[in-house]
Chains A and B, each alone.
Chain A
């Protein structure tokens, strides 16, 4: 099956610093990638939809200036958490949909656990 990687798998940072998380589709091209956040014992909440070559679409309540998304190529999307604070500590998961007409499935990355001290 299609593989999506995320880097780093975990990161600990000080409050006020910025953290970049990469999401790569390894064996397929993805015009659309998604970023989710998952708090402990809760479900995945969609943060934004990342489209290659255009601005990301953010869900209501998600600060686009705080969570910067760049989808620079058909295989790479990055999420930058700017000026991170402890409340940003969470599990961040990306997913990607292959550029195949009619394809339904999203393939998920393994997630990145962010801890802000």
Chain B
């Protein structure tokens, strides 16, 4: 099973450039989310979605956009990258029902902004 797939795994950007981190899941999960992981900060929620067409902000949404046009995909867009966005980004999804509350994570995308 593929689970949660993130691309790219590594990316280097210059300040001001834009890019999209892709996230796809094949488990038919309604809930999807994006986190960033920084040393000493743990994981912080950027944006999340409870279904196609529905998105909401998390703890640190500034500088990031998301959309959810299908159940499977939840891309994260950086419109104008800044060095403060250097981080490891994780996409995670969660099933409904009795398993709600368990997150399934992708392998992460390491982004460096110069």
State yes or no: do A and B come from one complex: no
**Chain A interface (Cβ < 8 Å from any Cβ of B):** none
- Interface residue ranges, B against A (CB under 8 Å): none
